[in-house]
Amino acid sequence: MASFALAHTNLALVKYWGKENEKLRLPSAPSLSLTLDAFYTKTKLSFSKEDRFVLDGKEEKGKEAQRVFSYLSALLSFFRLPPSHFLVDSQNFVPKSAGFASSASAFCALAAAFGKEMGLSLSKRELSVASRLGSGSAARSVFGGFVLWKEGRESEESFAVPIEEKPSMPICVLYLSFGAEKKKVSSTEGMRLSKTSPFFSAWRQECRKACKEARKAIEDNSFERLGQISERNACQMHALTLSCGFSYLSSYSLKAFDLAKEIREEGVSCYWSCDAGSNAALLCRKEDLNFVREKAERAFEGAVSCFPASSGPGVEAWSED
């Protein structure tokens, strides 16, 4: 028997950037995301004589394999289960070579496949907590559509909840990839450094406020307001890293920021976002996607690959003999 899970990635509209507890990945503030339909990870997990990790058909033995098996052993002790060995076979439908991170979909799929294989019958809340232990943003991939991840003092208190699993807002994301890059500062390290910023407590408060405002914007079906809140939050996250002497932004990321502004000046709603890398994302309404894409392709003259996405579903898991 083997267990399978399929989980989609998500884009944070209010970013998770800072941990109160690194080991438990308890965030310093709540965050809010949109699960995406275009990018996902499919994972097959089964018991095995020895630990083996196969990624996209290739046996992995390095750091990635280490992270997978130390996570699985953390899950075994979290659920008070005896030590076991596993074969993990994952396929990433995330364009990694274009510099996209896949830890959200990867760890959510792994947690769900683990829960299935161990017969744990996890609730969505428990699955979100388990996914969070692998990578913070994975906590949100349990649900589809708009998702809120709560902060919390204890491990069981910090989990994601669905806000609107099938959004009525016609929101789209156009990822702009400027090519793969070796991340100079990992998310974990970047968050650690950012906590030393004199602006960190303001950032924390801003995220709490932004989550409330974003929920209201979603409730009111206001793309305009949600876009403004997301862009402001992304700017604040990158201002925070700069205040600690490092940045993920490249000249391309900044050009994408200017482009969103230019598009708005032409009367089309378009907002910028950027995570812990130089690739940017543009938020727009579905009906404006082609226009925004053409604008981006013209502005970057072949230096960009565009990946459109819209709202996607939550994680699914099943077993097969």
Cα–Cα dist 58/69, whole Å: 16
Which is nearest to 215 in space by CA: 150, 297, 129? 150
Could you tell me whether strands 52-55 and 19-21 are parallel, antiparallel, or unpaired per DSSP bridges?
unpaired
Candidate list 276, 289, 309, 315; residue touching ligand DP6; CB under 6 A: 276
Is residue 241 near ligand DP6 by the rule CB under 6 A? no
Contacts of residue 3, defined as CB under 8 A and 6 or more positions apart, other chains included, come to: 44, 45, 46, 113, 114, 116, 117, 317, 318, 319, 320
Q: How far apart are CA 272 and CA 260, in angstroms?
A: 6
Size of the site for ligand DP6 (CB under 6 A): 14
Alpha-carbon span 32 to 27, nearest angstrom: 12
The answer to whether 188 contacts ligand DP6 (rule: CB under 6 A) is yes
Q: How far is the CB of 188 from ligand DP6 (least distance, A)?
A: 4
Is residue 135 at the binding interface for ligand DP6, with CB under 6 A as the rule? yes
- Least distance (Å) between residue 191 CB and ligand DP6: 6
Q: Which is nearer to ligand DP6, 210 or 276 (CB)?
A: 276
Considering only 114-122, 129-137, 211-219, 290-298, which stretch makes contact with ligand DP6 by CB under 6 A? Answer: 129-137
Query: Contact between 136 and ligand DP6 (CB under 6 A)?
Result: yes
Supply the DSSP string of 41-69, one letter for each residue: EEEEEEE-SS-EEEETTEEE-SHHHHHHH
Q: Does 310 bind ligand DP6 (CB under 6 A)?
A: no
Q: Minimum distance from CB of 109 to ligand DP6 (Å)?
A: 14
The binding site for ligand DP6 (CB under 6 A) comprises 12, 15-17, 25, 31, 103, 135-137, 187-188, 275-276
